[in-house]
Amino acid sequence: MSPEVGLLLVCMLGVGFLAQWIAWRVKLPAILFLLLAGILLGPVTRVVQPDSLLGPLLFPVVSLAVSLILFEGSLTLRFSELPDIGRAVRGLVTYGAVIAVAMLGVAAHYLAGLRWEVALLFGALTCVTGPTVIAPMLRTVRPNARIANTLRWEGIVIDPLGALFAVLVYEAIVSHQQNHAVGVFFALVACGAGIGLFAAWLLAFFLRRQMIPEYLQNYGALVAVLLAFTLSNVMTHESGLLAVTVMGIALGNMRGVHIDDILDFKENLTTVLVSSLFILLAARLAWPLPDGMLWGGTAVFIVAQLVVRPVTVAIATIGSSLNWRERALIAWVAPRGIIAAAVSAVFALKLDSLGLAGARDLVPLVFILIIGTVVVQSATAGPLARWLKVAEPDATGVLIYGADLAARRVARALLEAGFRVIVADEHWPSIQRARMEGLSTFYGHPATAYAERHLGLTGIGRLLAMSPHRERNALACVYYRQEFGRGRIYRLRIEDTHEAHDRTRLGGYLLAPALFAADMTHERFNERLVDGWLIKSTRLTPTFDWPNFIEQYGSNTVLLFGVEERGALRVASVKRELEPRPGWLVIALVPPQRLRPHA
């Protein structure tokens, strides 16, 4: 490999990182910036020409990358979660998805001129949304919890199911194109599914018995996926993608198999693969587009946005608890993402190699739909949600990291004051107690990749880091500083000695304002609660103001929060000394001997 080629590949990785970083900063799906970067580097400037850059390695590289993307996506599907996702989501990911595939296929055939085989494959590829495009949009739109949960679960569940459906449609096309009988198609499906199941069982066998050391488990899983993909293709041509999809679904649903580390590794690897792959594939787009493709693709996008999605949602949500306003917003939001872009490219390459007419039109049509849905919906979903009155007001809710006694009492006080509260912790017994007390909980650290997928932050705008682990508190504060803003994260100090000693004091950029009083620590807060101190909420009046409250309950009372008359939450911290006014609801920690009603 020449130095120029190596430099070009490294620069492409750098551009992928930059696109991901910009997406993180502006809270938009990364796929939009990746595709635009690829178009600029490829068709516009001709800096990157993938066919000459990789030559005969292009097809194997794309195929292996897509196999890993499909495996990672299918690994997140849990059958145990399907009964709990609600009637609307079940409808959207089952018969709703079938309706969407059929209608999108018809639109692609009549409006973009695709052959029926390619049109149906287009429908199967573009019926999916996916969490990587839904999550950033939900953060910007901030719909109510029912809409957010429906869209989030639809994206999580339909991602692997849509990939599986697309693979099956592709296998049917290949069998038909090669003049194979129906029996050959079923044999192909059986081979791919069989190898996928066997590979999942074999990997689970080694993992359960700890026959692979932890530091090699990610490496072993990577080898197993690529081996299953390659072996399946060797045994039955074009069955590899089905094998890795089935392997991921099977492994993700096996009991007693610890796959969290594997999943995290695959997510990180997928981020690199997706970033590079999207730029590479977008750079291959022919420009100008084939005759009629721009207008045909635009027409398909309009039909998908204004007809297909509304009809699908209307049918799939019949009998659900969603009202018409919520259904209307769900019918508008359906951005396409990773699976559609990545899998369409490899399918187009394979079908083109088989000589199928119109295969090359698949990728630009998919990309037009992706760019159209992401751009239009990102710009309009927020105003539409506010017009329909289904958007959450300002994010007033609170995420509390920590579930011990102090955190649970604070969470209960805020909940009773009318704020949405989520308690997160890795300590399962504490989470169990929080659930028994009626608190919304998240089991795990809120700064993990798992939390990014499953922790619904709709309506949440503050972080209180109150766990007994100083470094984990700091991690949560750093992670959510960009999400909520520097002025909306707080932490409860752990020990005075740790804070005072230069050898143990964390850097200022790792810290957030200390909660409550200057001398309040995690240990002292819990000790006072054990000693009988209580968290009391009282509405101040002109005749019973804050000085009267202090006189009533004692000068050692600790002010925790203040809620203004219009409902705004004020957090007491060492950097903000609150001055409660008449009309405020004050939440304070008061000593037991002073607990008596005021006159």
d(CA 421, CA 160) in angstroms, rounded, equals 31
- What residues does CATH 1.20.1530.20 cover in the chain? 57-178+258-387
Q: In terms of Cα–Cα distance, which of 145, 163, 168 is closest to 74?
A: 163
The two three-digit tokens of residue 565, written as one number: 């008359």
Q: Got the DSSP string for 224-236?
A: HHHHHHHHHHHHS
293 and 361 Cβ atoms separated by less than 8 Å: yes
pLDDT of residue 218: 81
Per-residue pLDDT of the chain (599 residues; tens, 9 = 90+): 556 667 777 887 888 888 888 877 776 767 778 878 888 887 778 777 777 777 777 777 777 777 777 777 677 666 665 565 578 888 888 888 889 989 999 999 899 888 888 888 889 888 888 666 777 777 777 787 788 878 877 876 776 667 667 777 877 777 776 655 566 667 777 888 889 899 989 988 888 888 888 778 888 888 888 898 888 888 876 677 778 888 888 887 787 777 666 766 666 676 777 777 778 777 777 666 666 678 888 899 999 999 999 999 999 988 888 889 889 999 999 888 766 777 777 777 777 777 777 777 888 888 888 888 888 888 888 889 889 888 776 677 889 999 899 899 999 999 988 888 999 998 888 898 999 888 888 988 888 777 776 777 777 888 899 888 888 888 888 888 877 777 888 888 886 544 545 544 555 445 678 888 778 888 888 888 888 888 888 888 888 888 888 888 888 888 889 888 888 888 888 877 788 888 889 898 888 865 555 44
**What letter would DSSP give residue 212?**
S
pLDDT of residue 498: 46
- Residue labelled with tokens 């595939």: 101
d(CA 548, CA 541) in angstroms, rounded, equals 10
**What letter would DSSP give residue 143?**
B
Q: Which fold has domain 397-594?
A: Rossmann fold (3.40.50)
CATH number of the domain at 57-178+258-387, out of 3.40.630.40, 1.20.1530.20, 3.90.1150.60, 1.10.3720.10? 1.20.1530.20
| Neighbouring-strand partners of residue 465 | 401, 491
Alpha carbon 59 to its chain's center: 29
- What residues does CATH 3.40.50.720 cover in the chain? 397-594
Cβ-in-10-Å burial (0-12, 13-18, 19+) of 549 comes to buried
191 and 232 Cβ atoms separated by less than 8 Å: yes
Amino acid type, 243:
A
Q: What is the dihedral of CA 423, 444, 531, 534, to 10 degrees?
A: 0
